[in-house]
Amino acid sequence: MSLEDAQNEVDVAFTRDEMKGLAFENTFAGATSFLRRRYTKDLTHADIAVTGIPFDQAVTNRPGTRLGPRAIREASALQTPEPPYGWDYDVMSTFAIADYGDMAFDYAAPVEIRDRIERHIAGILAQDCAVVTLGGDHSITLPILRAHVAKHGPLALIQFDAHTDSWENPDPTRVDHGTFVYTAVEEGLIDTAHSVQIGIRTVNEDTLGITVIDAPEVHDIGPNAVVERIKSVVGDAQAYLTFDIDGLDPAFAPGTGTPVWGGLTSAQAAAILRGLKGTIIVGGDIVEVSPPFDPTGATAIAGAHVAVEILSLWGYTRR
């Protein structure tokens, strides 16, 4: 970074010409797009887009994740002057990344939300552009998966979470953040034989055929062994990665709706995510960041890092 860069860059979310490259404007100033990428609805020259789904009306406990996309974008400004640590390439300089902004919807019509999300994500994918989504509660992942499966076919699921989110949901009209996996399996969206859930620490006896690496096992065998298990399960299958921030212990991510003690440390999550390089990731999301319960901003910072790791994983096999 040169002094000239720092003195002259401001609001690059609107003023930058090139979608690739680092950004050096003051982290505390300017328009906070994700990673200071350009805000645009024109994805003609974009390789991958970041979009927000600020919906949290499906939570079972504390709300507030509607404010997650905004907080994650702000926290991401801390990462823009340098390449992501722990990678042998810089996703920001290698790929054209756009911030597509948030999805518009009527907050008073939650029954319409799934169809609207599916159309929103499908519209991005139709532009020959991949997408990483900032949530929002975990109910948003079901329609996002539907859009991805329409393009790629059934996918392996890599899920970081305190909860399996696979509780039975016999009523398909219900919008619930704890049942998206059950419905996705019922619809044939998920290739269960190649799917894995990491960090689980709540009781749900029926795994639906998905491999579970619970939090105690992560602590016992360590990140490197976890990575090997995940890779052995997923193999060469195309995968969608969803990261519920409550997969982290509340000490590292207090700002979430359903915190559960005994979770992953941020260091464990970082090591596992980076260890997955080479896995074929077609898209992903980071969900359940709730700023009202995040007094220090630590949860949003973790969420921003997770999103960058998903971008880096997506790009690693496409360099």
Q: Which residues does the annotation place in the binding site for Mn(2+)?
A: 138, 161, 163, 165, 244, 246
Q: What's the rounded Cα separation, in Å, for the pair 138 and 227?
A: 23
Q: What's the rounded Cα separation, in Å, for the pair 293 and 65?
A: 10
Binding residues: 138, 161, 163, 165, 244, 246
Q: 5 with 16: CB under 8 angstroms?
A: no
Is the bond preceding residue 247 a cis peptide, omega within 30 degrees?
no
Tokens of 78: 């801390």
- CA distances to 145, 216, 290, 302 from 211, rounded to whole Å, are 19, 15, 28, 25
Q: Please work out, in degrees rounded to the nearest 5, the angle formed at the alpha carbon of residue 116 by the alpha carbons of 114 and 122.
A: 100
Closest listed residue to residue 66, CA positions, set 137, 145, 116, 132: 137
Which residue(s) pair with 184 in the sheet? none
